[in-house]
Amino acid sequence: MGLLISRNRGGKLAKGDIIAFIDDDAVAHENWISELVKMYENYNAIAAGGKMEPLWLVKKPVWFPEEFYWLIGVTYAGFPDKICKVRNTFGSNLSFRRDVFLSLEGFNVEMGGIKGKKMLQGGETDLCIRMYRKFGKKVMYNPNAIVYHKIFERRTKPGFLIRRSFWQGYSKAVMEKLGGQTGEESNFLKCLLFNSIPHRIKKIVKGEEITSNFLKLLAISGLTASVGLGYFYGRFLKTLNP
């Protein structure tokens, strides 16, 4: 059974007022639930999520930039580090008031899982966008509500990351086709171009971790290009199949 189909079924079967989602390859901090509950009690949240931290089962690749940790389901460098409103968090650290979740008819199952050779992603993003449109409220983010995501060796392979980034770009194009907004992705790209890349170049010039920063610059360029190719591929398909 597909991930989003299972989550929707779980939401319907659940009896509590709040539904919290976590993946089978993730480990919750002992205070995870209590920190999420604070968002509902103290901030009148209708959805709340928290921080994803990596649980490395292999050696962390020296070339993998922290800005792209979202490719392995981990909160990335540049994401807010304080309690605030955000568009969405990762689906493995996300919760909703059950009545809100059901009123939105749960996740759009077309936005997650493997479709032939396609690795569609973005079910939580789509759901949170629809939630904002209907209720005018975003997800309350609490960085103290921590879930650790296991990082297996295959998730650190360049081929996997390039493929995943391509289908991330494609998924964003599909989301736009369904009426979604990708403003967060535009801001992320601006942050890469005007903050992350210049910062790493400065560190190289200063002689700080030259090899690591050079490799991360190459990775940023390659992964960004892969996301862009996936996005334009999706837009091309949209043109052919309006």
pLDDT band at 241 (very low <50, low <70, confident <90, very high): very low
Q: What is the dihedral of CA 154, 66, 85, 149, to 10 degrees?
A: 30
Number of domains in the chain: 1
Q: How far is CA 87 from the centre of its chain?
A: 10
Burial class (CB in 10 A: 0-12, 13-18, 19+), 86: middle
**pLDDT at res. 121:** 78
User: What pLDDT, on a 0 to 100 scale, did the predictor assign at position 213?
Assistant: 94
SS (H, E, C) 165-182: HHHHHHHHHHHHHCCCCC
Confidence at residue 114, expressed as pLDDT on a 0 to 100 scale: 52
DSSP 71: G
Which amino acid, 140? M
pLDDT, tens only, 53-101: 999 999 999 999 999 999 999 999 989 999 999 999 999 999 999 999 9
- The C-alpha atoms of residue 233 and residue 236 are separated, in whole angstroms, by 5
Range of the domain at 191: 3-240
- Helices (DSSP H) in 91-196: which residue ranges? 98-103, 123-135, 158-177, 183-191
Tell me, what CATH number does 98's domain have? Answer: 3.90.550
Q: What is the pLDDT of residues 165-183, one digit of tens each?
A: 999 998 888 777 766 665 6
Q: For residue 11, which phi and psi values (nearest 5 degrees)? A: -65, -35
pLDDT score, position 186: 78
Least confident of 113-117, 154-158, 208-212: 113-117
Closest C-alpha to 103, from 65, 60, 137, 53: 137
Q: pLDDT per residue over 91-145, tens digit each?
A: 999 999 999 999 999 998 877 655 545 566 788 999 999 999 999 999 999 999 9
Residue with more model confidence, 160 or 2: 160
| pLDDT for 171 | 86
